[in-house]
Chain A
């Protein structure tokens, strides 16, 4: 297998060593090379025809040099030795004139394969996927006769990645990703609504099939009657029941980012001084996990060659771990957690989430709703954001319901919810027994875009601020 990757990138092991010597030539403590060869493929169906599509190739090597916690980074889109040496020299500049010396630790370990490909995307042709998108479109139209437009998209990528570092660790793997998204536009009595459903996995082309069509078509029409009836609630502070699955965006925004160790190392995070302290009620466990098979956030290795792992950030309500790359792990004197991720070889790795979720509790989800006199139930979201220092987060709710006297009543839509991370975590008063990870096309945009996922059981937050009129 090693030769497969060396051949793709047209390098030999001696050249890797030579690059390493150049990268460390100005006194760096640590250096690594990240070779990437990614092929992307995409198709889109609009107005009944798969009339656009294409493929894209991205190839290059990123070279990073660390001096203490300081980073020098450069990349080359060619693996000609002269080009790579020039990039290595540019990255090495960070070490010039710096006196500190830090010892980075070896972390390579035997890893599992969390995303074997049965059918390699690269060996499939567009002729296989065009009929799939048409069948998906037909299935969606058949579900509801008020649909006026269907837009369906599929994309895949396959990345060959080879990493080598100055500790002598050589790792390599091939990472697949397949995504399908369908949007339906509905018109009823002069009103228009749209709804989108998506699935994305680290998996081969075996993803494309009848069961996925049925799953997406069912989801894209689910709840559309309520969407037409939905109104804006009266805004203000209220109890919020967050449905299982996509509500995991709460964890991503309210705490996940603030647990990324670079923000804490720089004292920018509201959680910078809370390690070992209680930040949630007892019984709550919150995880960032790179080992969920076929998950969008899974990683056999992260982008620093550190094996993927399941990291408990919060155990029984106590903050136990930040999410580390090698730099922050070295700074805090802990083992890296496999969270050093990057968008592609053009970027240096930084701490990023993978699959972030809360483990199930013991409460009955229906009982949680029944316990709320006045509040709101939310279960479908689009985007979110957080201010790291203040901990103020928001997420946008596409659909939900009012809760009145323990019952779901009026549908609501298009409202933003705002809260403060530490406060919201401490205000979780019930955790359901129905944890579910949402497998939509979640992408996190902290400086760089990386695929993630999120999940949560049904929970009750006693007070959040809800937008309304």
Chain B
């Protein structure tokens, strides 16, 4: 973790920047350690250890602005670095809108970095041998005997533990701290069916807490996802209902959140320009930014400017309530400044035509498949893109056909194509099954009338 003399170094950097001619400055000091292990087919294949320490400096000089970073933190080198940075900023164009956020908007309650309970106190207590043993415990390769349907060719399991500590300070006196630990496991399985065709599947888990990381079934879930793809069938092009699994549903949310960023709007690179306060999406689509939920990955007390986060509603029953507006973009656009980007988006459960608040019912994947009846259940996206200006998208998909609420067979080589606004206005349901391990809390989603090509 960041120690006292490093905090003093960070403060000195700010002082030195001001003394060197900067009118204002902000600095982020980050330290990270990580240990990672890869187990290939039951045997240790790779072990890596890393320890990083760097500073990132934001300088405001004579109405000009620049950003600089270095991992060479000896005092003399830092002084040369800052002096050169000030000289360079003076060569850039003037932009008086570049400034620190108003001091009263910055977080005052992030003093230890532990406020959000994202740091596992046991992190330091484990030896590398214990971590290695945990990694080895993930592997099931030697237990995977050939079946009549397939043979496991390869199993790759990765286990990583990391600890991250960031100090953010500025020349107005703001000091904020964010600390978190992360425990991750990932398994990828490659199998071959009796015809010689290969299929692969993966699974992962992540948690800020060592004890709550579920590693036991990671490999088995990856195998299940690989084996489930055996025997894909062609499906005809057409319009189908589409259910998107919670493991990948964030892919359809990110174009919306990107389009709500004031920077994109100001540069005319957003299909949601002029949407503030407007009902742009179907009734029932509600996305909140629950930035301050203790113990949940993605939570943070402040953004990279130091501006205090708060739990906010971004889209409320289809109506856009918030843009993401940094201090600079507030000056450029005239929008009220908020925070610069989303922290922990949570999409709320919804079933068209059903008042969930009254029923208080959890909405599962099974429920949603039953609601939709027939269609394509998407479990993965394979490439594709969404045009940020128009919202037109085209994505490769993998998944299954389903009928009468039951999965029938895997599909292959399919694409979905459309416009992201049209898609979200076709929302039929959203589950309450977002993965707890994900920073983005996006559940299973269902849309109707989606164009599939095959």
What is A's interface to B at a CB cutoff of 8 Å?
43, 46-47, 49-60, 69-77, 87, 90-91, 93-94, 125-127, 130, 148-149, 151, 185, 187, 192-194, 232, 235-237, 253, 266-268, 270, 346, 348, 382-385, 387-396, 413-420, 465-469
Contacts and interface: CB of A to CB of B under 8 A. Distances in A.
Contacts of A391: 198
Given A57-B72, A232-B417, A384 B91 contact: no
Nearest to A464: B413
A71 B413 contact: no
B304 interface: no
B355 interface: no
Given A43-B92, A72-B47, A468 B453 contact: yes
Interface stretch (B117-125, B162-170, B290-298, B393-401): B393-401
B154 A268 contact: yes
B27 to A, nearest CB: 13
Contact of B390 (A69, A192, A348, A385): A192
A46 B453 contact: no
Contact of A390 (B71, B91, B199, B395): B199
Contacts of A94: 44, 46-47
A49 B48 CA distance: 44
B68 A54 contact: yes
Interface residues of B, number: 74
A43 B91 CA distance: 11
Given A51-B65, A75-B50, A383-B385, 16 more contacts: A49-B93, A50-B93, A51-B92, A52-B66, A55-B68, A70-B45, A74-B48, A125-B91, A192-B268, A235-B454, A382-B385, A389-B198, A394-B396, A414-B390, A465-B414, A467-B417
A392 to B, nearest CB: 6
20 contacts: A46-B267, A51-B64, A52-B92, A54-B68, A54-B85, A55-B88, A56-B68, A69-B45, A74-B49, A77-B72, A193-B390, A194-B388, A232-B417, A268-B154, A387-B200, A393-B382, A396-B384, A415-B417, A467-B395, A468-B451
Top 5 A-B residue pairs of the complex, sorted by shortest distance between their CB atoms:
A235-B453, A394-B383, A389-B200, A49-B93, A385-B383
A415 to B, nearest CB: 5
A90 B415 contact: no
Contacts of A60: 71
B43 to A, nearest CB: 8
Contact of B198 (A46, A59, A390): A390
A95 to B, nearest CB: 10
B94 A90 contact: no
Nearest to B72: A59
A73 B68 contact: no
Contacts of B414: 418, 465
B271 to A, nearest CB: 9
A49 B96 CA distance: 12
B265 to A, nearest CB: 12
B154 A396 contact: no
B240 interface: no
Nearest to B229: A390
Contact of A51 (B51, B98, B197, B267): B98
Interface in B429-454: 451-454
Interface of B: 40, 43-54, 64-72, 81, 84-85, 88-89, 91-95, 98, 128, 153-154, 156, 188, 190, 197-200, 229, 237, 267-269, 332, 382-385, 387-390, 392-396, 398, 412-418, 451-454
B95 A49 contact: yes
A468 B417 contact: yes
A266 B390 contact: no
Contacts of A76: 51
A232 B412 CA distance: 22
A231 B85 CA distance: 48
A387 B65 CA distance: 42
Contacts of A59: 70-72
Contacts of B45: 69-71
A53 B268 contact: no
A393 B415 CA distance: 12
Contacts of B389: 185, 192-194
A383 B158 CA distance: 27
A56 B190 CA distance: 40
